[in-house]
Structure 1
């Protein structure tokens, strides 16, 4: 008993001394202004509750007004410097691996796996990032992927009638496309079963990484185990086939044939994380593009006109070609504006590898930083009427200033999202098929939720009615 008490006292004393020394050191540095909130909890609860409101950036808005675009807070168990400043964000992105290293909350790290692309560092990350981009560049999309994208989107839309939950349908489309790209699987019972587990995995992001205290996180861990087991089986089967000379043109084949000699566990983590990325982000962009267009009738009418002209040049069943995609200028304006307003990647977490001086402040070694892309995209100083959906601003860049520096929907630097071009193509093809095949009205009011990921509260239900495609092609 005495040993236990002495041990307990030692732990308490050591912890107190650690925090005292750290706080004393921090007081000597010129930290960004802010508030660390309650002990241990910090301002995590304020962050979570704020993003469940209709305002897309309430947590940052309030603190920027009080402290300026760079401020200190304490979230997810760690002191964190938030940046709503584009120059600081660019500095963070450009100094990846030099002054900052990738660092995410434990819940994300545990659910994605330590071999996921998001958590890789150094040379391995560089090689795997390059490999991923090689399967999603313009040439590959043009020569191979566009056919599958068009076919799978058509296949899903063929079943639409009456009331449709758009976000749910978009998630099915993007999951099927990602599974096809990564593992050459066509839609079926297995892919749908796997997708349902993914829903639970994603719900575990940004929760407390303690199964005892969080039922959501506990369910996410169980779902992650099921997903890993299913992918492990596929990897083992494909490895045997590859050794026997069977080859497929997909990401899994490239991982099995690579010189790095990846283990099954490494491949599973890598595939699991890429499925999350392709499934969650692109489907949300698709849903919100439709929501914003529906609320902006003039933009929807101009988009329909552009796609009706494309469809009029083709037969009813003809697939979209690369030349069709390149003849969608207003569609690209819609894509850019959706990315700006929706901000699927709200920002990035990094950890300071050394004391870093920036903008007159010091970010202490070991502290987290969060570069907020959303805060910049929604700043009226950078975009005129920033919180209004206005695709025409991209026709002449009249609604933005120095867009190259302030518009970062896919991040930047060495960790630029490798699927940025693929996401734009998927959204463009989806919008083409949607507006040429259907007219629709919202089934009921639906509000946006911005935490843990941007989504609609009710999965954005719409009532669809099929257009006369044969007449459209003759006009």
Structure 2
């Protein structure tokens, strides 16, 4: 009897699903969807996307579909029908209509690990307030007056330990994590920060896995790591809340959250800090590593960068004298290198959004509830927008030549423009200054660039380093 009941329940469920799919398909036939291919049932084209992004050259996934269907096409990835856009005008429309026509939407594996109160997942007025607060702690004046000294000091401190062979991506991650912890919670490097960073490594590995602990050991480890990180941050929040009530406060992001009129709970603050640490740690460290990789492969650019920074160093009394804001503002070629690294590396390859209503654009209709992916990468690597788009050429940014800035969106745009965009540029510029004035290097072995689950090098970019003197190489 129990077996028959189970069979009956299964038949009813399948009938309901079939009816739903039939009605949805019928409705979509009446809409002019962007052309494309939904691929296999349930799986769609997810496997093709992942296999492309696990190589050095993921472009064919988009290139082939753009050539066949045009810059806006339909596919089916990560369990949902998705409209891909490689059209800059459409991408701007998506970014600018955040909260009006589109809402933020990410895979559950990411949202579960970051927490519902992370800035990435916040919506409406709460997101506006928290985004504004974050921007206020990462604007030019704050960086100049309060953060630059710590950035320079912590980078120098890390580089002092470098000898012989270095795993550059690993070292860059240590630097950016320590900077983020200092800026958010006023902690200097130590056993606590390093222990926290190791848990973050496990947490981030779970972002692009199947969000089922029973089937994915990576996701299971990530959930455990997330719990440990949340517990560690929760203890700090409780301690700082008590200190704040006693009038012994610090001037950092955590202090601003505790002092806010909104009365944020400990859970909200923990989620918020946890996500900001991910953002500051993962993306900037990758940019640092790839800037060095691209420069190493482009000797003329590296020589010009060294010349710019040697001139700044020559005006200092000694190599340990701190960098000042005027020094940062006198790095024009460095900014060209930063822009070109951001364009070519595409650390943020694009953003997912969900249509809040049927949306009519470019002669097509994006149905309500469908995912949309605005691809920054496809635009940045399009030869129509950037000459020899897949070649590292920092000189293209001199004097804003080529009129490319209107399609350059490495930090997103609209209401969700990355609030740390200026801070990331400063950290990378200071890192490059200290690196090229203190070291020469060569790759220790061949290393390849891959883009899934995140942009990185396969072997963490090992290099052999040698200390420089002011007049050449150390003996």
How does the TM-score come out when normalised to structure 1? 0.97
Alpha-carbon distance in 1 for matches of 2:80, 2:244: 45
Unaligned runs of 5+ in 1: none
Task: Tell me, in whole angstroms, the C-alpha distance in 1 between the residues paired with 2:435 and 2:168.
Answer: 11
Root-mean-square deviation (Å): 1.0
Q: Deviations over 1:354-387 (max 9, x none)?
A: 0001111100000000000011000000000000
In 1, Cα distance between equivalents of 2:18 and 2:406 = 43
**SS of residue paired to 2:76:** strand
* Structure 2 residue 331 is the aligned partner of structure 1 residue 328: yes
- Are 1:318 and 2:321 matched, yes or no? yes
Q: Map Cα deviations across residues 35-66 of structure 1 (whole Å, 9 max, x no partner).
A: 11111111111111110111142321221122
Aligned to 1:337: 340
Rounded Cα–Cα distance in structure 2 between residues aligned with 1:95 and 1:123: 15
Give the Cα separation in 2 of the matches to 1:229 and 1:413: 33
Q: What is the Cα deviation at residue 233 of structure 1?
A: 1.0
1:44 aligns with 2:46: yes
| Partner deviation per Cα, 1:95-140 (whole Å, 9 max, x = no partner) | 1111000000111111111100000001000000000000100000
1:105-120, aligned counterparts within 5 Å?
Answer: 105-120=107-122
- Name the residue aligned to 2:24: 22
Distance (whole Å) between structure 2 residues aligned to residue 51 and residue 62 of structure 1: 14
Q: Distance in 2 between matches of 1:161 and 1:303?
A: 22
**Equivalent residue runs for 1:113-152 within 5 Å:** 113-152=115-154
Structure 2 Cα separation of the partners of residues 224 and 438 of structure 1: 37
Q: How far off is 1:267 after superposition?
A: 0.6
C-alpha contact 1:90 1:405 (8 A) present in aligned 2: no
User: Of residues 142, 155, 158 in structure 2, which corresponds to 1:156?
Assistant: 158
Number of residue pairs matched? Answer: 469
Taking the aligned partners of 2:263 and 2:466, their CA distance within structure 1 comes to 52
- The corresponding residue for 2:81 is 79
**In the alignment, structure 1 residue 442 sits paired with structure 2 residue 443:** yes
Q: For residue 79 of structure 1, give the secondary structure of its aligned residue in structure 2.
A: strand
How far does residue 406 in structure 1 lie from its aligned partner after superposition? 0.8
With the length of structure 2 as denominator, give the TM-score of the two structures.
0.97
Instruction: Determine which of 171, 196, 200 is the counterpart of 2:173.
Output: 171
User: Which of 253, 256, 277 is 1:254 aligned to?
Assistant: 256
Give the Cα–Cα distance (whole angstroms) in 1 for the partners of residues 235 and 143 of structure 2.
Answer: 28
> Is 2:289 the partner of 1:309?
no
1:286·1:430 contact (CA, 8 Å) conserved in 2? yes
Q: Which residue of 2 aligns with 1:289?
A: 291
CA contact (8 A) 1:94 1:414 kept: yes
Which digits, 9 at most, give the CA deviation of each residue in 1:392-428, with x for residues without a partner? 0000333x4x423210000000000000000000000
Instruction: For 1:217 and 1:64, locate their aligned partners in 2 and report how far apart those are by CA, in whole Å.
Output: 33
Aligned counterparts of 2:224 and 2:186: Cα–Cα separation in 1: 26
Q: What is the SS of the residue equivalent to 2:165?
A: strand
Counterparts in 2 of 1:360-439, with a 5 A limit? 360-398=363-401, 400=402, 402-439=403-440
> Displacement of 1:9 after TM fit?
2.1
Work out the CA distance in 2 between the residues paired with 1:11 and 1:264.
41
Q: Deviations 1:259-317 (Å, cap 9, x if unpaired)?
A: 11111111111000000000000000000000000000000000000000000000222
Please report how far the alpha carbon of residue 157 of structure 1 lies from its aligned counterpart in structure 2 after TM superposition: 0.1
The DSSP-based 3-state class of the residue aligned with 1:18 is helix
Q: Deviations over 1:62-87 (max 9, x none)?
A: 21122111111111111100000001
Is residue 270 of structure 2 the alignment partner of residue 268 of structure 1? yes
Which residue matches 2:233? 231
* Aligned-partner Cα distance in 1 for 2:130–2:77: 30
Check if 1:221 corresponds to 2:208: no
Alpha-carbon contact 1:73-1:81 (below 8 Å) kept = yes
2:359 aligned to 337, 356, 367, which one? 356
The farther-off stretch of 128-137 and 201-210 is 201-210
Q: Distance in 2 between matches of 1:276 and 1:141?
A: 20
Partner Cα separation in structure 2 for residue 415 and residue 266 of structure 1: 19
Match of 1:466 in 2: 467
Residues of 2 paired with 1:58 and 1:454: CA distance?
A: 17
* Distance across 2 between alignment mates of 1:262 and 1:412: 27
Task: Find the residue that maps to 2:394 and give its secondary structure.
Answer: coil
Aligned partners of 1:383, 1:174: CA distance in 2, in Å? 30
- Counterparts of 2:65 and 2:111 in 1: how far apart (Å)? 27
> SS of 1:14's equivalent?
helix
- Cα shift at 1:208: 1.4
8 Å CA contact 1:285–1:339 kept in 2: the answer is yes
Distance 2:21 2:326 in 1: 61
Deviation at 1:172, TM superposition (A): 0.2
Within 5 Å, which residues of 2 pair with 1:91-106? Answer: 91-106=93-108
> Matched residues in 2 for 1:203 and 1:126: separation?
29
Q: Find the partner of 1:190 among 189, 192, 199.
A: 192
Question: Unpaired runs of 5+ in structure 2?
Answer: none
* Aligned 8 A contact 1:97 1:121 in 2: yes
SS at match of 1:440: strand
> How many angstroms does 1:24 deviate by?
1.1
